[in-house]
Amino acid sequence: MKKTYLLLLLLLPLYYGNSQQKFKITYEQLKEYEGVYEYKNNTTLQIAASPKDTILFAIINDSKYALKPSEKDVFLNMSQETVTFLRDQSSGINGYSSDGKTFKLLNKKVVFPKEMWYPRLNVTKDYKYVYQQPKKDLDGLVTGTLDNTGLDKTLLSEMMQKIVDGTYANVHSVLIIKDGKLVFEEYFYDNNKAKLHELRSATKSFVSALTGIAIDKGLIKDKTETVLSYFPDYTIKNLTDDKKQITIENLLTNQSGLDCDVSNPKAEGNETAMNNSDDWVQFTLDLPMVDVPGGKGMYCSGNPITLGKIIERATKMPLPEFAKQTLFKDLGIKNFKWNFKPDASSAETFCQVYLNSRDMAKFGLLYLNKGLWNGKQVVSKNWVEQSLAKHSVVQGVNYGYLWWLKFLTVDGVKYNGKAAQGNGGQKIYIWEEQNMITVITGGNYNSQSPSDELIQKYILPSFNVKKAAN
């Protein structure tokens, strides 16, 4: 759910030093390239120039990726490969080429809202953040003030100052639920409480919840059922006795044993190759085995994708529809977008779910409350506890059932969290000891996100025992 091949040809870290930029270009010159262009798989992308920092961006769905100017009409991606804009006989831009492929300009007249470039509009140098209690809505969340929560208002104000002045770029929202109440809620750029945000790989934790619900309802018999038993119609390559023993639980813990590991560039289960294949499940199940099921934890998006298809086959309905009738219905989540079609048509959307930040927070609160919501057991307590318990280690981090079991350290004090997280800075953190949920969304795709740093510097220190003792 992270990258596609052509998308990589347009990516660039969202920050690069001016000292490395040899070719200078003005904002007005960059605007010449703006428009809607053809893109892969019969989709489109937008090219937009930022008035804030004079950078050209390729916008794919809701994600912005910077392009570095190299020479006239030529820009570089993160691999130093060229993206060349093309001109017609009258010298007007009419398309671009990359990696030997040409894409046409479809619409030159595109207006980009000013809000998308600035954390907050019309902010003066003497800007001072003023806290406001989140407003009550009809979404089922109870709101409250920061008073008597233990959260440090001064630290939160400092955090807001730094997000607004651009010290922490591309942070889209920050929400805090403390003791069951939404006490902090702020949005930036063109985001707001109603706007849907892409969750990227945080979607995996929702697939985990739906797996538990399907088991709770008896639609899936048990987590020990074998994966291949759900695909009798598939002809599987590299079929071995070990592959036949892969279970649903192995998918949940990223211990399938398949040659699929995002941290290993030599792995055959390359995510980009999967995204551009005709059937992501077939692609995943065809991979050779490099370990026994239940062995090494390897981060592989093909595992939860296959799990999503198992849920569809077990429930006899599309995955988003099952979510709508169960998890989302119970949580009062009515506005969402989820196109779960694991084939090349989803190469740019990664089969991810789109939710607003409040609904993300509700999901975290559900797990903090052991699966209970408004008196109803939405997910069984047993499943929640299993999901948030250690079963494997993935990329050096303890791992549950498609949940990260992470800790952040503040001045020597260790805070244990459970996280659903995705590329760009999407974070739903459960802090059981603090009875708190933190939600951060962002747009730092394929680059370092400040999400964890914000929590470490401005939220968790409020509870630091060492600090309180001084």
Per-residue confidence (pLDDT) for residue 99, from 0 to 100 = 87
Is 70 exceeded by the pLDDT of residue 382? yes
Is 70 exceeded by the pLDDT of residue 242? yes
Q: What is the mean pLDDT of residues 123-152?
A: 96
Alpha helices of 101-257 — where are they, by DSSP H?
Answer: 153-164, 203-216, 241-244, 248-252
Asked whether residue 225 falls in the same domain as residue 89, the answer is no
Give pLDDT tens digits for 37-61. 999 888 999 999 999 999 999 999 8
SS3 311: helix
Domain edge (last residue) among 85, 112, 139:
112
Per-residue pLDDT band at 17 (split at 50, 70, 90): very low
Order of strands across the sheet that contains 413-422: 181-187, 171-178, 436-442, 426-431, 413-422, 404-410, 397-399, 392-394
Per-residue confidence (pLDDT) for residue 466, from 0 to 100 = 53
Per-residue pLDDT band at 16 (split at 50, 70, 90): very low
Query: For residue 246, what is the DSSP state?
Result: -
Asked whether residue 284 falls in the same domain as residue 343, the answer is yes
Per-residue pLDDT band at 465 (split at 50, 70, 90): low
Burial 422-455 (b: 16+ CB within 10 A, else e): bbbbbbbbbbeebebbbbbbbbbbbbebbbbebb
Which residue did the predictor score with more confidence, 287 or 5? Answer: 287
Over its C-alpha atoms, the chain yields an Rg (Å, rounded) of: 23
Q: What is the CATH number of the domain that holds 95?
A: 2.40.128
The H or E element containing residue 285 is helix 280-285
Q: What percent of the chain has pLDDT over 70?
A: 94
Q: What is the CATH number of the domain that holds 415?
A: 3.40.710.10
Asked whether residue 107 falls in the same domain as residue 121, the answer is no
Asked whether residue 86 falls in the same domain as residue 134, the answer is no
Q: What percent of the chain has pLDDT over 90?
A: 89
Domain with 243, as residue range(s), is 116-470
Per the listing, tokens 């370990």 go with 291
Is 50 exceeded by the pLDDT of residue 458? yes
Asked whether residue 132 falls in the same domain as residue 227, the answer is yes
Asked whether residue 49 falls in the same domain as residue 135, the answer is no
Number of folded domains that form the chain: 2
Asked whether residue 204 falls in the same domain as residue 307, the answer is yes
Q: What is the mean pLDDT of residues 198-225?
A: 98
Asked whether residue 130 falls in the same domain as residue 238, the answer is yes
Per-residue confidence (pLDDT) for residue 13, from 0 to 100 = 40
Distance of CA 378 to the CA centre of its chain: 24
Domain edge (last residue) among 69, 86, 112:
112
Per-residue confidence (pLDDT) for residue 125, from 0 to 100 = 87
Q: What is the mean pLDDT of residues 24-33?
A: 96
Beta-carbon count within 10 A of 287 CB: 23
Per-residue confidence (pLDDT) for residue 105, from 0 to 100 = 98
Q: Are 348 and 413 in contact (CB under 8 A)?
A: no
Give pLDDT tens digits for 412-449. 999 999 999 999 999 999 999 999 999 999 999 988 99
Is 80 exceeded by the pLDDT of residue 154? yes
Amino acid in the structure at residue 89: Q
Is 90 exceeded by the pLDDT of residue 20? no
Per-residue pLDDT band at 253 (split at 50, 70, 90): very high
Per-residue confidence (pLDDT) for residue 185, from 0 to 100 = 98
Asked whether residue 412 falls in the same domain as residue 278, the answer is yes
Domain edge (last residue) among 112, 129, 153:
112
Asked whether residue 395 falls in the same domain as residue 422, the answer is yes
pTM of the model: 0.93
Q: What is the mean pLDDT of the chain?
A: 93
Q: Which of 338, 357, 365, 360 is nearest to 349 (CA)?
A: 338
Q: Which of 253, 255, 302 is nearest to 275 (CA)?
A: 302
CA distances from 97 to 11, 60, 211 (A): 14, 16, 43
Per-residue pLDDT band at 6 (split at 50, 70, 90): very low
Burial of 327 (0-12, 13-18, 19+ CB in 10 A): buried
Asked whether residue 100 falls in the same domain as residue 141, the answer is no
Per the listing, tokens 């307590």 go with 381
* DSSP secondary structure, 425-443, as one string: TEEEEEETTTTEEEEEEE-
Per-residue pLDDT band at 3 (split at 50, 70, 90): very low
Angle at 256 between CA 254 and CA 259, to 5 degrees: 100
Which residues are within 8 A (CB) of 210 and not within 5 positions of it... i.e. 6 or more apart? 308, 311, 319, 322, 323, 326, 327
Asked whether residue 81 falls in the same domain as residue 125, the answer is no
